[in-house]
């Protein structure tokens, strides 16, 4: 898997956790009885995606700059 910038991973984590929590709350409390299960399940999926991005954020190696592109000092 390719490198994901830490700020981007944090934004994705927050987005998925917030929508997952909101989806579970709406599915359990607000939704009519006919669609409660589906909305709650979608919230759980979003919560799981948030957990995946936490895992990616915590386990990915730091990006190392390419030494070939570094300028030389010929003074």
- Per-10-residue mean pLDDT of the chain, 75 residues long, equals 88 96 93 91 96 94 76 66
pTM greater than 0.85 (yes/no): no
Is 39 a domain residue?
Answer: yes
- 53-60 CB contacts, 8 Å cutoff, 24+ apart: 53/9, 53/12, 53/13, 53/16, 54/13, 56/1, 56/4, 56/9, 57/4, 57/6, 57/9, 57/10, 57/13, 60/3, 60/4, 60/9
**Domain total in the chain:** 1
Residue 68 lies in a domain: no
pLDDT at position 47 is: 95
31 located within any domain: yes
Asked if the structure places residue 42 within a domain, the reply is yes
**Residue 49 within a domain:** yes
Residue 63: the pLDDT is 78
Q: 13 lies in a domain? A: yes
What span, in angstroms and rounded, lies between the C-alpha atoms of 56 and 18? Answer: 18
Whole-number pLDDT of residue 75: 57
Domain boundaries, position 47: 6-59
Q: Is 48 within a domain?
A: yes
């Amino acid at each position: 898997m390719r490198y994901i910038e830490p700020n981007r991973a944090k934004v994705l984590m927050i987005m998925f956790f917030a929508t997952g929590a909101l989806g579970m709350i709406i599915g359990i409390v607000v939704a009519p009885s006919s669609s409660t299960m589906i909305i709650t399940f979608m919230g759980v999926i979003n919560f799981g995606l948030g957990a995946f991005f936490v895992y990616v954020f915590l386990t990915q190696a730091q990006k190392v700059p390419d030494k070939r592109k570094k300028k030389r000092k010929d003074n």
